[in-house]
Structure 1
Amino acid sequence: MNRKWVIIGVVLIGIVLLAIFIYFNQLRYPALPADVESTPKEVVQKLNESDQKLVEISKDDEETWYIMKNEDVNEQIKQLISSKGWIFKNIDGNGLFFEKDDEVLIVSTEMWTGNYRLVKVPAHF
């Protein structure tokens, strides 16, 4: 009977250690968009080590992805985009609409976790 309890104890300790390992590694964050080559853990670390509110995590010919903490999201985006001469027009759902020289720029946000939001900005920004 003692052997049975030792086996149960070892299994339970293994489960707890596995749960701790998963929690402290990248498995606790959801997947990032396919264009982002960093791991979720690296992206969060990059933001936490930065003094910027929005941190670029991926850029290609079509779009740039940023990550930010889930605080004053729309205001931070407005400041970033307006700094390049774009004029804020309105918000519709998860999209922020800007205009400049008869062009329209749509910046979209995506809730990534309860603490972080992803921001997608088209390349012509």
Structure 2
Amino acid sequence: MKKKWRIILFSFIGVIILLVILGATYINNVGFNNIKLMYELNSTDVSIVQIDEDGQYLGRRMNSNQILKDRMKREGWQFEQQEGASFFFKKDNNEAVISTEIWNSNYVLYRLDDNVVNLADK
């Protein structure tokens, strides 16, 4: 009977260790800061969050193109055209190009040239 409990205990400990290793690997691949941003997108009403000061933003994939167009319109930019994953906007004599990339299957990464507008909700 004692031997049976030892096997169960060691199996349980092995499963816990495996789960910790898998979790650490996931965090290492995605990045701790990105996990915080994904949590913010999923736990609040925020649609787009800023990743860095260089013009990178993260948003949920659902309706991402329309959210981008609405956000730029709110900032006074007019949608011109879409070529592949790039969106072109105009405001006065300025042009903004925003490229999008599906990231981690449920999210979209937005990259702005020269960070001409802040897409984030905050």
* Displacement after TM superposition at 1:72 (Å): 0.8
CA distance in 1, matches of 2:42, 2:92: 36
Matched, 1:100 2:100: no
* Displacement after TM superposition at 1:13 (Å): 5.5
Residue equivalent to 1:119: 110
SS in 1 for 2:51: strand
Q: Which amino acid aligns with 1:101?
A: D
Matched, 1:53 2:47: yes
Residue equivalent to 1:20: 19
SS in 2 for 1:58: coil
SS in 2 for 1:88: strand
Q: Which amino acid aligns with 1:97?
A: F
* Displacement after TM superposition at 1:107 (Å): 0.7
CA distance in 1, matches of 2:25, 2:85: 26
Match of 2:36 among 17, 24, 42: 42
* Displacement after TM superposition at 1:54 (Å): 1.2
Matched, 1:64 2:63: no
Change (3 A) 1:111 1:19: farther
Query: Is the 1:26–1:40 contact (alpha carbons within 8 Å) kept by the matching residues of 2?
Result: no
| Structure 2 gap segments, 5+ residues each | 118-122
Q: Which amino acid aligns with 1:109?
A: T
Instruction: Please report the RMSD computed on the Cα atoms of aligned residues, expressed in angstroms.
Output: 2.8
CA distance in 2, matches of 1:69, 1:41: 13
SS in 1 for 2:45: coil
Query: Is the 1:22–1:28 contact (alpha carbons within 8 Å) kept by the matching residues of 2?
Result: no
What do the CA deviations read for 1:64-85 (whole angstroms, capped 9, x no partner)? 2221111111100001111111
Change (3 A) 1:93 1:66: same
Query: Which of the two has greater helix per residue?
Result: 2
| Structure 1 gap segments, 5+ residues each | 33-37
* Displacement after TM superposition at 1:120 (Å): 1.5
TM-score by length of 1: 0.70
Query: Is the 2:40–2:46 contact (alpha carbons within 8 Å) kept by the matching residues of 1?
Result: no
Q: Which amino acid aligns with 1:79?
A: D
* Displacement after TM superposition at 1:49 (Å): 2.9
